[in-house]
Amino acid sequence: MTTERPALEALSNPRSDRVRAVARLSGRSARQRAGRFLVEGPQGVREAVAEHVAHRSGHQGGTPVAPERGGSPHAGGAPGTLRELYATPDAAARYPEILDAAAGSGVPARIVTDEVLAAMLAGAGTTTPQGLLAVCDLITVGLDSVIAARPRLVAVLSQVRDPGNAGTVIRAADAAGADAVVLTDASVDVHNPKCVRSTAGSLFHLPVVAGVPLADAVRRLKQAGLAVLAADGAGDFDLDELADDAEDREVSSSTPESSTPESSTPGAPHLERSAAWVFGNEAWGLPQADRDLADAVVRVPVHGRAESLNLGTAATVCLYATARAQRREQRRAQRRFTMAETA
C-alpha cells in the first residue's frame, strides 16, 4: 500500500529562489555554508532515502540505537539526513516506492518540471537528469569513529582529484566489504555531485572520512594495528604472489603435519591481516615520500600489453584480493575454534 502524498503544484519557474538555492549546492563553498549536498538519480536517491529512514527508525524516545555491523554507518547521528526531494512527473510515476518511503519519513517530494530539474543541476555536470534529486545534510565522519570500530580493511585516497575516480573507488570499497574510505586533505570533495553520482549510493553504505593529512591517517591506522600497503606500479611486492602466499597458508593450516610456508618474497605482507590500502593520484601516482610512509609497496601485475591500470580498476583488484584473503582467514579461525570446541 502506498502512502498518500499531498497534491502540490509543480515547481515550474527555473529562476525561482528555491531553484537557485538548490543549484548553488553544486559549488563547494555553497555546500559548506549550507551544510548540504545534492544526490541525483534513482540509485543514489533510493539509498539516501533508505539512510534517512534507518536514521529515524534507529531512534527510540530520542536515544540513538547503535546499528548492527553492516547496517547504516551513520544511524544514530545526523549526517546524511534527507531534507528535500524533487521529482519530475515521469520519475514520480516510475519510482513511487522511493517517494512513498520519503513521504513516510516526513519528507514528501515536490514535483518539478524537467526544465526546473535541469536548472537545479546546471552546475553539477549532469548531461541527462534522471528525474530525481535529493538534498541531504553533509556526511561528516571522523577517523576516530572508524578506528573505534576496529576496521580490517580501509581504502585511503591520497591526492585523488578526479571526482569520478574517487566515487568509483568508494563504490569498489563498498562492494569488497571494506570498513571505511579515507580521503586525504588534498583529495576531491566527497560531496562533489559527480563524486556522489559515481558512488551509486555507496556513499551511504560505509563511513567516508575526508580532510585528513596522509601522514596522520597512516600513523593512526598503524597504531590501530593495520598494515599500510601502498599501491604502485613499481612496488617491491607482486599482488598475485601475495595472494598465492595467502592461499598456501590456508592450505597448510588444514594439514596438521605440514608447516606454515614462507612467503615467496622475504618480508612480504600477509594479505589476510588487517590492512589499509593507499591509492595515489590518477596522473602521477604516489610520490616517494608517500610510499615511504607505507609498510610495503605492492604492484598489480600487468600480464598483457596494457601500459597500466586506471585508479578504479587497480583499487578494485587490491581491495578484492585482500578481502578474499581475510575471508579465508576468518574461515580458518572458525575451523580452529570448532575443532577446539569438539576436542
Q: Is the pLDDT of residue 62 over 90?
A: no
The dihedral sign for the CA sequence 110, 115, 120, 121: positive
Cell 580532510: give the residue: 211
Nearest to 135 by CA among 80, 98, 94: 80
Q: What is the DSSP letter of 265?
A: S
- 195 compared with 338, residue with greater pLDDT: 195
Strands, E, within the chain: which ranges?
Answer: 36-40, 59-60, 63-64, 82-87, 110-111, 132-137, 153-157, 180-184, 208-212, 227-231, 237-238, 275-279, 296-299
DSSP per-residue letters across 140-162: -B-HHHHHHT--SEEEEESS---
Instruction: For residue 241, give the 3-state DSSP assignment.
Output: helix
Mean pLDDT computed over 159-171: 97
Nearest to 179 by CA among 263, 274, 101: 274
Where residue 23 falls among pLDDT bands split at 50, 70, 90?
very high
> In the prediction, which pLDDT does 191 show?
97
Report residue 310 as a C-alpha cell.
Answer: 586506471
What does the CA dihedral 113, 114, 116, 118 come to, rounded to 10 degrees? 170
Mean pLDDT computed over 264-270: 83
Give pLDDT tens digits for 95-136: 999 999 999 999 999 999 999 999 999 999 888 899 999 999
> In the prediction, which pLDDT does 68 show?
34
Mean pLDDT computed over 164-176: 97
Report residue 229 as a C-alpha cell.
Answer: 600497503
> In the prediction, which pLDDT does 256 show?
54
Mean pLDDT computed over 35-43: 97
Give pLDDT tens digits for 297-318: 999 999 999 988 999 999 999 9
Nearest to 106 by CA among 83, 129, 90: 83
pLDDT mean across residues, the chain: 87
∠ at Cα 289 (168, 323), nearest 5°? 40
Where residue 327 falls among pLDDT bands split at 50, 70, 90?
very high
Cell 536515544: give the residue: 63
